[in-house]
Amino acid sequence: MITSKISLFSKVVLLAVSALFFASLFFPMWRIELEAPQYPEGLVLQLHANKIGGDVDIINGLNHYIGMKTLHTEDFPEFKILPYIFGFFGLFALAMVFIDKRKGVLILLASFMIFGILAGIDFYRWNYEYGHNLNPNAAIVVPGMAYQPPLIGYKQLLNFGAYSIPDIGGWMLVAAGVLLLIIVVKETKLLNRFRKQNIQPALFLLLSITVFSCANDKAVPIKLNADNCDFCGMSIADGKFAAEVITEKRRAYKFDDISCMMNYCKENSETKMGAYFVNDFAQDNVLIPTNTAFFLSGGTIQSPMRGGIIAFSKETDAKEFGIKLNAQPLSWEAILSK
């Protein structure tokens, strides 16, 4: 039974938790960024605890064309309730400093986690309803198309890329949750309850999950004769020369030639790129990461936009085609520096 008092360290951390809950009320909690060629600077929808902010009028104008309901703060009862919920959590954390009971901190953490789950479900429902319940008489109707933004992360919606992430207030809430977890672990001596030989496999499993969850820069398959090059606009028809870049926001840009990818990256140097992929010349429309690829340049290589660079997943294939095409090896670092 957890009934003993909490330490001075935990009390100080609880004060920080309380401050984070209250401070989050003055900053946007969540943001949905929209990127498209016609809006090079992007559009942002910001969700505060009590209102919708950002480029609401422009986004509502776009929503009207595709039959989506326009967004208005008064249509969402959540904005009337959320300030009281965060205020309650802030007061709860502050009260725990004086009540001085470990069990109370555990209840606060559990309550906040339940709130987070329910908030996520509500946000998904909100996105689903607005993305699927469309006006059939809208100016732009794409059969079978829905416009539901991602719960978190990136999603392509026609020519718009939607990126959904926590904003300043949201990160404050994440920090508050992490600090509460640290207090609970420390005060309950949770780590000491496991023997060393038992905790090592658990730590290994946790590390493995973390590593694999972070390695999410996967290539988006290129649809030949359907996708167009994001640099030159030509249709991507040959599955041996194409390339692709994934931004840190998980948006994919596709190209019919490696040279088009490099030119695009030079012209958009302010965009943070997360991963690069190229077609394996020895296969048909198979994308491979550039950091493991073997490149050839020059000779009789005839790529769609005369870039003259091809890639291989195997060094033996690169050597074989190098002889056939009278081409020279080229490193990825050299391509980047051109």
Cβ count near 41 (within 10 Å)? 7
pLDDT for residue 220:
86
Flag whether 3 is in a domain: no
* Same-domain pairing of 196 and 296: no
pLDDT for residue 4:
63
pLDDT one-digit tens code per residue, 103-159: 889 999 999 999 999 999 999 999 898 888 888 888 888 777 788 888 888 888 877
Flag whether 19 is in a domain: yes
pLDDT for residue 213:
44
- Beta carbons of 161 and 34 less than 8 angstroms apart: yes
pLDDT for residue 193:
60
* Same-domain pairing of 186 and 298: no
pLDDT for residue 7:
86
pLDDT for residue 198:
54
Residues of the chain with pLDDT > 90: what percent? 54
Q: Which residues contact 317 (CB under 8 A, 6 or more apart)?
A: 281, 282, 294
Flag whether 120 is in a domain: yes
- Beta carbons of 234 and 304 less than 8 angstroms apart: yes
pLDDT for residue 190:
67
Flag whether 293 is in a domain: yes
* Same-domain pairing of 206 and 257: no
Q: How many structural domains is the chain composed of?
A: 2
What is the amino acid identity at position 107? I
Flag whether 139 is in a domain: yes
Flag whether 223 is in a domain: no
* Same-domain pairing of 182 and 263: no
SS3 annotation, the chain: CCCCCCCHHHHHHHHHHHHHHHHHHHCCCEEEEEEECCEEEEEEEEECCCCEEECHHHHHHHHHHHCCCCCCHHHCCHHHHHHHHHHHHHHHHHHHHHHCCHHHHHHHHHHHHHHHHHHHHHHHHHHHHHHHCCCCCCCCCCCCCCCCCCCCEEEEECCEEEEEEECHHHHHHHHHHHHHHHHHHHHCCCHHHCCHHHHHHHHHHHHHHHHHHHCCCCCCCCCCCCCECCCCCCECCCCCCCEEEEECCCCEEEECCHHHHHHHHHHCCCCCEEEEEEEECCCCCCEEEHHHCEEEECCCCCCCCCCCEEEECCHHHHHHHHHHHCCEEECHHHHHHC
Flag whether 285 is in a domain: yes
pTM given for the model: 0.65
- Beta carbons of 163 and 32 less than 8 angstroms apart: yes
* Same-domain pairing of 156 and 65: yes
* Same-domain pairing of 208 and 247: no
* Same-domain pairing of 133 and 181: yes
CA distance 104 to 102: 5
Q: What are the tokens at 48?
A: 């505060």
* Same-domain pairing of 258 and 177: no
**How buried is 20 (Cβ within 10 angstroms: 0-12 exposed, 13-18 middle, 19+ buried)?**
buried
pLDDT for residue 215:
45
- The domain in which residue 24 lies consists of 8-214
* Same-domain pairing of 80 and 177: yes
Q: Which residues of the chain have pLDDT under 70?
A: 1-4, 40, 190-217
Flag whether 222 is in a domain: no
- Beta carbons of 141 and 155 less than 8 angstroms apart: no
pLDDT for residue 274:
87
Q: What are the tokens at 55?
A: 């480029």
Q: For residue 105, how far is the Cα from the chain centroid? A: 31
- Beta carbons of 186 and 14 less than 8 angstroms apart: no
* Same-domain pairing of 206 and 260: no
* Same-domain pairing of 205 and 292: no
Cα-flanking dihedrals φ and ψ of residue 303, to 5°? -85, 160
pLDDT for residue 67:
86
pLDDT for residue 219:
85
* Same-domain pairing of 65 and 210: yes
